[in-house]
Amino acid sequence: MLAVMMAEQERAKERVNRKDYWLSEGLIVKVMSKALKEKGYYKMKGVVEKVVGKYVGEIKMLDGGDVLRVDQAELETVLPQIGGRVRVVNGAYRGEHAILLGIEPEKFCAKVRIEKGRFDGRVLPAVEYEDICKVAVSGR
């Protein structure tokens, strides 16, 4: 019975925290805009410096420091190396910081352990790649 109640709580958290926007400051993202390809930014990484509205990020490129305004639809989350810090950007644990424990490429998901807060230590065994993102070193 307890397991059923916990599963229902997880589903409820997922419904409440699943949004159509995921950008937040301090994330490292990859620019996937074909329009920016000719300018040399395609598949380049940058840090989200500011979010404009809910869907547009001001991205400071890691190479060169240029700042671009890019819609989240043209950005991709980035995964760190195993042991690296991530932020859960969508789903039940949205906003939580975690450590990447492993990846399952065939399932496009990762295993993470929440750090700090009320879920400290909780292991999430199968978070979709797009629901987590590498955090810039400053940890913002």
How would residue 139 be classed by pLDDT, with cut points 50, 70 and 90? Answer: very low
Mean pLDDT computed over 40-68: 95
Mean pLDDT computed over 118-123: 91
Mean pLDDT computed over 43-56: 96
Residue 62 has pLDDT above 60, yes or no: yes
Compute φ and ψ for 92, nearest 5 degrees: -55, -35
With beta carbons less than 8 A apart as the criterion, state whether 54 and 110 touch.
no
What is the pLDDT, as a whole number, of residue 82? 97
| DSSP string of 25-90, one letter each residue | TTBEEEE--GGGTTTT-TT-EEEEEEEETTTEEEEEETTT--EEEEEGGGEEE----TT-EEEE-S
What is the pLDDT, as a whole number, of residue 8? 79
Residue 137 has pLDDT above 70, yes or no: yes
CA distance 57 to 124: 27
User: What percent of the chain has pLDDT above 90?
Assistant: 76
What is the pLDDT, as a whole number, of residue 138? 62
How would residue 131 be classed by pLDDT, with cut points 50, 70 and 90? Answer: very high
- Which tokens in the block code for residue 47? 């840090």
With beta carbons less than 8 A apart as the criterion, state whether 45 and 78 touch.
yes
CA distance 39 to 20: 28
Mean pLDDT computed over 18-43: 93
What is the pLDDT, as a whole number, of residue 54? 94
Q: What domains sit in the chain, N to C, each tagged with a CATH number? A: 2-21+79-134 (2.30.30.30), 28-77 (2.30.30.140)
| DSSP string of 96-118, one letter each residue | -EEEEEEEEGGGTEEEEEEESST
For the stretch 77-115, pLDDT in tens is: 999 999 999 999 999 999 999 999 999 999 999 999 999
